[in-house]
Amino acid sequence: MALPRLGGLGRSCLWAGGGALLVGASAHLILVFPANVLGLVGGFACYFRALGHSETPRAGLLTGSVFGLLLAASSLYWLTDVLYVLTLEERIVGAIVVGGFLVLIALPYGLWGLGAVLMRRRVPRRWMFLLAPGLLLAQALVHDVWLGFPWLHHGYWLAFGPLGNWLALLGAWGVGLLLLHLAACVGLWNQAPSALSHALATGVVLCLAPLFPVSPPPGPASRRVQAAIISIDPPEVKDSPQDNLELLSRYVMATQQLRADWTFWPESVIRDGEATLAPLSAALGLPGGRIFAGALLAAPSGRYNALVELPGGRPLYYKQKLVPFSEYLPGEPFRRLFRVLGVNTLKTDVTAWPQPQPAVEADGVSLHPLLCYEAAFTELIQPGSQPMVLLNAGNESWFRSALMHRMTLAMAVARSREYGVPLVRSVVGGSSGTFDPASEPVWQEGEVREGTLTHPAPLLPRPAATPYSYWRRLFP
């Protein structure tokens, strides 16, 4: 029996669906160059090719929506990981709400599919050059501005590999314009007369990245800081209001053995800051080096997720950006829906700090904390003239999907490459280690022994001196 032939809309949707799954697969390989970049460019090339074959605005909307929905499902399914700690009723409601959120994530791809077809009718000769900036603008307005979820910046795919120097020039958001333009030229190779030549030129420009002197290496007079990272997986994953004293004692012993200038513990490792900070400081003894630890502290409503300094327990920084569906519900419509249904899928009472905060000053170095999901927000980093170090402390033990851990690592490394300064990462359930884009741009992973990850590493703090850091000073 012969299979029915697909019409024009069916072929466009098939191209779009295949492209979305290819981009989703490239997200799983985001740490592997060149498979990550080839998958990203190839997937979006299929998306733009599908739009090129869409004859009507309605067809463009449907084609773009197919791409967006499959992309959201294949790259953000890890959002459902937090549902396993809920009751059956809460899981059902939570899955429905997360599904609604994924529809919103897909929105810019469908809207730009509609807009791209309309644009082709008005400016057919320049249409190919408008595809990349139009999609990037639609994605920024919906994901970044409206939803506050800048997760799918295409520059993260360049964090690992020789093309990462583009991050120091344009940042993770800006370099997406080059990648999407390359994808548009490849996708329209037989529809636009100059598509192949533009694709070749864009590819050559991208490959020039290793030649760019984006950040000067640390000088001989740079002060070296001996750092140590400690991360220990808890015996069980739960949002307990009380501290596991046995777990904290293991952190204390590991800290005393490493004897570093700076020691980093993960996010929220101290569950009851008011009750535990004083005895914990006493157990650590006299101040030798600085210990930066995540702690939950009392807030007017709920608790703050904070970074404190030990011994002493002085709060240094409060988390400003929370993880959607794990720590907060994104958008008033979702919060209203949960109130109407009378259920709560959040198993934490963490609240966001409402005001901007300066960097942490430590021994003449500007330490910029990014707690967990905050690695996705480059605007939280304030480049200045002082030597800098980025700290990404997190707790990813709630999430079982390896994709989530790879994405957050790529984000943190991208931030380091944007500013050309060292990165320290201490994460429960994820990747802990160090990265220095100037001296040795290779991720240095910690070593696990008997359930305890430790990673002693020298840091060379230096001022942010990349072109992107200067753009940030001009346009904060």
Residues 197-216 have pLDDT tens digits of: 999 999 999 999 888 777 76
pLDDT band per the 50, 70, 90 thresholds, residue 123: confident
C-alpha span between 470 and 476 (Å, rounded): 10
Name the residue ranges covered by the structural domains of the chain.
8-211, 225-474
**Region of 244 on the Ramachandran plot (φ > 0 left; ψ -120 to 50 alpha; else beta):** beta
Instruction: State the pLDDT at residue 178.
Output: 95
* pLDDT exceeds 80 at position 400: yes
Dihedral angle of Cα 361, 375, 471, 462, to the nearest 10 degrees: 40
For residue 69, give the nearest of 47, 52, 90, 42 by alpha carbon: 47
State how far Cα 68 lies from the chain centre.
19
pLDDT band per the 50, 70, 90 thresholds, residue 387: confident
pLDDT band per the 50, 70, 90 thresholds, residue 245: confident
Instruction: State the pLDDT at residue 330.
Output: 65
**Region of 171 on the Ramachandran plot (φ > 0 left; ψ -120 to 50 alpha; else beta):** left
Provide mean pLDDT across the span 21-46. 96
pLDDT band per the 50, 70, 90 thresholds, residue 447: confident
Higher pLDDT, 249 or 439: 249
Provide mean pLDDT across the span 364-371. 92
For residue 463, give the nearest of 391, 377, 363, 382 by alpha carbon: 382
For residue 270, give the nearest of 449, 395, 151 by alpha carbon: 395
C-alpha span between 433 and 413 (Å, rounded): 11
Provide mean pLDDT across the span 99-110. 92
Instruction: State the pLDDT at residue 242.
Output: 74
Provide mean pLDDT across the span 138-158. 92
For residue 306, give the nearest of 240, 241, 371, 231 by alpha carbon: 371
Q: Would strands 440-445 and 447-449 be described as parallel, antiparallel, or unpaired? A: unpaired
C-alpha span between 443 and 413 (Å, rounded): 8
Tokens 């740490």 sit on residue: 31
Q: Which two tokens stand for residue 416?
A: 């380091």
Which residues make beta-bridge pairs with 229? 264, 455
Residues 271-284 have pLDDT tens digits of: 888 888 888 888 88
Please give the share of the chain, as a percent, with pLDDT higher than 70.
89
Place domain 225-474 in its CATH homologous superfamily: Carbon-nitrogen hydrolase (3.60.110.10)
* pLDDT exceeds 90 at position 166: yes
0.85 exceeded by pTM: yes
Residues 322-364 have pLDDT tens digits of: 877 667 766 666 667 666 666 665 556 788 888 889 889 988 8
Instruction: State the pLDDT at residue 1.
Output: 38
What mean pLDDT value characterizes the chain? Answer: 87
Instruction: State the pLDDT at residue 74.
Output: 95
Q: In what order do the strands lie in the sheet with 423-428?
A: 360-362, 365-371, 388-395, 423-428, 433-436, 440-445
Instruction: State the pLDDT at residue 237.
Output: 67
Q: Which two tokens stand for residue 452?
A: 């305890």
pLDDT band per the 50, 70, 90 thresholds, residue 2: very low
Instruction: State the pLDDT at residue 332.
Output: 63
Provide mean pLDDT across the span 137-143. 95
Q: Would strands 303-310 and 314-318 be described as parallel, antiparallel, or unpaired? A: antiparallel
Instruction: State the pLDDT at residue 3.
Output: 37
Helix axes 88-122, 127-139, angle to 10 degrees: 150
∠ CA(83), CA(86), CA(90), 5° rounding? 90
Please give the share of the chain, as a percent, with pLDDT higher than 90.
48
For residue 381, give the nearest of 263, 296, 463 by alpha carbon: 463
Which of 83-97, 157-171, 298-312, 434-448 has the highest average model confidence (pLDDT)? 157-171
Which residues make beta-bridge pairs with 365? 362
Instruction: State the pLDDT at residue 219.
Output: 64
What are the residues whose beta carbons fall under 8 Å from the beta carbon of 392, sequence distance 6 or more? 370, 371, 372, 374, 375, 408, 412, 415, 423, 424, 425, 426, 427
Provide mean pLDDT across the span 253-280. 88
Instruction: State the pLDDT at residue 472.
Output: 87
C-alpha span between 327 and 349 (Å, rounded): 7
**Region of 259 on the Ramachandran plot (φ > 0 left; ψ -120 to 50 alpha; else beta):** left
